[in-house]
Structure 1
C-alpha cells in the first residue's frame, strides 16, 4: 500500500505516514487501531511484526486492495460480492478436483 493511500484511508497527510515509517514522528494508540483496521491486521501485529505469522496468513497487495474495496461497499453490495466470490471459489475447487481425478 502506498503512503498516499494509507494516508487517505486513515485521514492524515502522506507526510505523516512517511514520518511514521521513518520513526521521525509517533502516533496515538487510536491511530494505531485505525492503521491496523485499514491494513487488515491486529494492533499486536503492528507492534510485534510479521515474524510470528505463518507465511500464508500475510495478505498480498491484491488481497489488501480487495479488502479495502470491500470495506468501502455498502452492506448490500458486500453480500453480493461475497456470494460471487464463493461461487468463483467453488468453481475453482471443482476444477482442481477434476484435474486431480485425471492424474
Structure 2
C-alpha cells in the first residue's frame, strides 16, 4: 500500500478504464473459441519451492479475472513438469476445468 500512496487518482482511474476495455476485447476474442491453450511459464517448474516461478504467463489472466487451469504437459529429463494452461472466458470456470480434463486425457493417451 505504501508504494501506491503517491499514485494520482487520475492515473488509477485511467488504469481501471484500460482494464475494462481489455476485458471487453477479450470477451470478443472468446466469441470464436471456448478456451485458449497457452504456456503456463517460460519453462519447467522451479527446482526449489522458494518460489512458484515467473508469473508473466498468468498475470494477464489474473487481471482479466478469467479462470485458468495448469495442466502438466511433459516432464523434463530432470523430472520437472512443464505445463500448459487452459483459459476460459470470465465466469466459465466449469468450462476451463472440463477443457483441462480433456487436454490432460489427450496428453495421457499421446504419451502412452
Q: Normalising by structure 1, report the TM-score.
A: 0.31
Q: Whose strand proportion is higher, 1 or 2? A: 2
Question: Which has the higher relative contact order, 1 or 2, with Cα contacts under 8 A spaced 6 or more apart?
Answer: 2
Larger radius of gyration: 1
Q: Whose helix proportion is higher, 1 or 2? A: 1
